[in-house]
Amino acid sequence: MMDDLKFRRQFLFTPKRCDGLDTWIVENLDTHYLYVHPDCEFTRVSSEGLDIILLGYILDPSSPEHTNHDILSNLLKITNLEEIPLKLYQLTGRFVLLVKHLDNYRFFHDPCGLRTLFYANEGEDFFAASQPLLLEMVIPIHKISEYDQYFASEYVKNNREHWIPSGISLYENVSSLIPNHYLDTSSPTQVRYWPMRPLCSQPLETSVDIFTELLSKIMISVHKRFKVALPLTAGWDTRVILSACKEIKKDIWFYTLKFRDLTEISNDIEIPTSLASKLGLEYHIIDCKIPLDTDFARVYTENSDIPHLHDWGEMAYAMHKNYPEKYITIKGNCSEIGRCSYTLVTGKQRYQANPDSDLLGYEDEWREIDFIQKGVMQWIDDIKLDEKCMGYDIYDLFYWEHRMGSWQARNQLEFDIVQEAFTPFNSRQLLDIMLRIDPQYRCAPSNLLFKLTMKKLWPEVMTESINPKQVESEIKSLIKAILKKMGLILKR
What are the pLDDT digits (tens) for 280-289? Answer: 999 999 999 9
Pairing of strands 283-287, 252-258: parallel
pLDDT for the residue 491: 42
Note down the domain range covering 434: 204-336+408-478
Under DSSP, the state recorded for 40 is S
In a domain, 355, yes or no: no
Do residues 466 and 328 share a domain?
yes
Do residues 158 and 239 share a domain?
no
What are the pLDDT digits (tens) for 459-478? Answer: 999 999 999 986 555 566 55
Neighbours of 123 (CB within 10 A): 6
Do residues 306 and 243 share a domain?
yes
Distance CA 179, CA 198 (A): 18
Distance CA 87, CA 83 (A): 6
Q: Which domain-ending residue is among 166, 192, 218?
A: 192
pLDDT for the residue 327: 98
Do residues 236 and 272 share a domain?
yes
The total number of structural domains in the chain stands at: 2
In a domain, 311, yes or no: yes
| 431: nearest Cα among 340, 333, 331, 337 | 337
Query: Are the CB atoms for 109 and 117 separated by under 8 Å?
Result: yes
Do residues 88 and 171 share a domain?
yes
Helices (H) and strands (E) in the chain, counts: 18, 19
Integer Rg of the chain from CA? 23
Do residues 277 and 177 share a domain?
no
Do residues 168 and 297 share a domain?
no
Do residues 34 and 135 share a domain?
yes
pLDDT for the residue 353: 56
Q: Where are the beta strands (DSSP E) in 170-242?
A: 174-176, 181-184, 189-192, 227-231
Is the whole model's pTM more than 0.95, yes or no?
A: no
Query: Are the CB atoms for 427 and 92 separated by under 8 Å?
Result: yes
What are the pLDDT digits (tens) for 411-450? Answer: 999 999 999 999 999 999 999 999 999 999 999 889 999 9
| Residues sharing a CB contact under 8 Å with residue 476, sequence separation 6 or more, in sequence order | none
